[in-house]
Amino acid sequence: MTYVPLPFIQWQMLFGSDVTMAVQDPSYPAYVDSSVIMGQTGQYQKDSEKYGKIEYMRCNPENGFFPDLSAVGKTEIIFFCSPNNPTGASATREQLTKLVQFAKDNGSIIVYDSAYAMYISDDSPRSIYEIPGAKEVSTKKM
């Protein structure tokens, strides 16, 4: 896969309305909002306050702001932002390696948002393409 400069709303159009997507929680609101606007999120579930076709990957201080991938269901698309907006957390090389392997194992495509990579000040990867095998399952959005 390669970098394709599409707005988030066009990504949803590209993959169609039957896909399930995963997003970090919290994450940049446009990932979910653009899907809601296009009617591709499934029904809003009042009891959970979530949409049916969105898998929310909880990220918090307790898990190092990286989701427990064993708790994530099968999804066709994974929107992943590093450094994350709004938390500022950057995924480590080990974490991104796990994410790439998860995508390979589940037939998912990672849409990687690296808009804030210039602010990474440690040795965290600036691009998912620094991870072996990432080009097979991801595309980069800047």
25-74 pLDDT, tens digit per residue, is 999 888 788 778 777 788 889 998 888 889 999 999 999 999 999 999 98
Give 4-25 pLDDT, tens digit per residue: 445 555 566 677 778 888 999 9
Which domains does the chain show, CATH number per domain? 8-141 (3.40.640.10)
What is the Cα–Cα distance from 57 to 106, expressed in whole angstroms? 15
Alpha helices in the chain (DSSP H): 8-15, 30-37, 93-106, 134-137
